[in-house]
Amino acid sequence: MISEIQSDKLSNSNLIETQGAFRALSDPTRRGILMLLSEQEMTIGDVSEHFDITRAAVKKHLNILEEGALISVHASGRERINRLEPLGLKSAVDWLNYFNQFWDEKLSALQQAVEDEQNNQN
Amino acid sequence: MISEIQSDKLSNSNLIETQGAFRALSDPTRRGILMLLSEQEMTIGDVSEHFDITRAAVKKHLNILEEGALISVHASGRERINRLEPLGLKSAVDWLNYFNQFWDEKLSALQQAVEDEQNNQN
DNA sequence: CTTAAATAGTACCTTTTGGTTTCATAAATC
DNA sequence: GATTTATGAAACCAAAAGGTACTATTTAAG
């Protein structure tokens, strides 16, 4: 079956490759950091000012984001510039896009239901 | 600034709404379960046969997936049918799609390649 | 009615996670 | 050269996560 082939492909190779990204994305603070860095690359100190935790805790989050290839760090003198790596989100996006085929089905059904409801209300 | 408005919108409301989904997605076993259920809805026993952990552990994963609204559970006699809820992935997909704009800015060529690849797979 | 099957739930254990505090190091700056 | 300044890293801690074993409950089946 085609579905089994797809399943193998995603559950074996892709499942492992995505782990770093999905792990990094599971924490709300880390997602907040990604949002921040999407506006501007920043030093650790800069990032820390936006959160109510210590700089050391922020550093740990940045390490995990870097491990997941969601950011990159560049030395500049004694500072370290943290930069968003949007391409790192690709593995997670790809994995989720596999399900598009299913929620496209659901969505069309839902859309129909919404339209029916609107017609009843009017 | 527009970027600040967008940031607020995503970091406050959406960030919280997506937590259940992203948390559920962070574990490879749970992503495997989602893949399984994408092919066919199954009982807990059926799901358990695909993994090398106890039924109780699988049940915990299913609970977390249900909390994240990624699956739904339907009683049928003494069995519980676990069904994929693809729409539950929408919050996570939406959050990630915010970053599409940065792909566009910096990596439009690469994004095109990704889309082409997706088209070839479908 | 009794028994087997499918699941729920709890107690318990170990590892991971998110956080802190403290100390060390490297680079500007005075 | 001495002193801030920005960061790295280790030790430690409480809570959450992922797992097991065991017990209870509900429902099919004989």
Domain residue extents for chain A = 2-121
A11 CA vs D15 C1’ separation (Å): 31
CATH code for B2-96? 1.10.10.10
* CA A56 centroid distance within chain: 23
Contacts of B90 in chain A (CB under 8 A): 103
B58 CA vs D20 C1’ separation (Å): 12
> Higher pLDDT residue, A19 or A12?
A19
The span from the CA of B56 to the CA of B40, in Å, is 21
> Higher pLDDT residue, A9 or B118?
B118
Q: Which residues pair with A80 in a beta bridge?
A: A75
Q: Tell me, what DSSP letter sits at residue B41?
A: -
B44 touches strand C (CB under 7 A): yes
Return the nearest residue to C26, CA–C1': A78
A27 CA vs D13 C1’ separation (Å): 20
Tokens at A98, concatenated? 């596999």
pLDDT in tens for each of the 122 residues of chain B? 333 334 444 444 454 579 999 999 999 999 999 999 999 999 999 999 999 999 999 999 999 999 999 999 999 999 999 999 999 999 999 999 999 888 766 555 555 555 666 666 54
> Higher pLDDT residue, A17 or A37?
A37
Q: Which residues pair with A76 in a beta bridge?
A: A79
pLDDT of residue B82: 98
List CB contacts of B71: < 8 A, sequence separation 6 or more.
B33, B34, B37, B62, B65, B82, B83, B84, B85, B88
Query: In sequence order, which ranges of A1-122 are alpha helices (DSSP H)?
Result: 2-8, 15-17, 19-25, 28-39, 44-49, 55-67, 90-97, 100-121
Size of interface A-B (CB pairs under 8 A): 97
Asked if A16 and A95 count as a contact pair (C-beta separation under 8 A), the reply is no
CATH code for A2-121? 1.10.10.10
The span from the CA of B51 to the CA of A8, in Å, is 14
